[in-house]
Amino acid sequence: MPLYVRDVGMSMATALLWFFNFLLAVTFPKFQDAFHNTGAFGYYAAWCVVGWVLILLFVPETKDLTLEQLDARFSISSKSHAKYALKQCIYVIRRYVFRRQGVKRPVISLPPQEYDYDHKEADHPRKISFDSDEKMPGGVN
C-alpha cells in the first residue's frame, strides 16, 4: 500500500475489524440459544464459504508483483478475472487432487496498452501467467 494512503487504509481496516468483532459478540449468544452450538457455528461457517468464493472470483492475487505487473493485473475486467479464477480452480483440482501430469496452467489475457515498452506495435492481447513454477534466486520459493 502506498505511503500516502497507508494510514487511511489501516484505519479503515481496523475499524471494520472491530465492527465485525462487535457484530459477532452481539449475535453469537442469540444464535447459540436459537440454533445451539452446531447451528451457530454452521451459520458463520457458511458465511466464510460465501466470502471465500467471492474473494476467489473478484480479488486478484498481487503477491510478489512489480508495480508494472500490478497495473496490468488491475487493467483486467472482473468478468475476465472470474473466468481465470474458475479455470485456475479446475487446474488445481486436476493437477493436485487427481494427480494428472501435463495439465496446462491457465493463462490470463491482458488488453494491449499504449505504454507497453516491450511491444510498442502490439495490436494483439498479451497473455501473461502470473503463476511461476521457476525457482527464485537465492533458493527462496
Segment 13-36, tens digit of pLDDT? 999 999 999 999 999 999 999 999
Percentage with pLDDT > 70 across the chain = 75
pLDDT above 90: residue 74 = no
Phi, psi dihedral angles at 63 (to 5 degrees) = -65, 135
Q: Which set of grid coordinates corresponds to residue 139?
A: 533458493
| CB 27 within 8 Å of CB 51 | no
Segment 37-63 shows an average pLDDT of: 93
Average pLDDT, the chain: 82
pLDDT, position 62: 85
If one compares 49 and 69, the residue with the highest pLDDT of the two is 49
If one compares 135 and 85, the residue with the highest pLDDT of the two is 85
If one compares 137 and 19, the residue with the highest pLDDT of the two is 19
| Distance of alpha carbon 107 from alpha carbon 81, whole angstroms | 11
pLDDT, position 20: 94
If one compares 76 and 39, the residue with the highest pLDDT of the two is 39
If one compares 64 and 138, the residue with the highest pLDDT of the two is 64
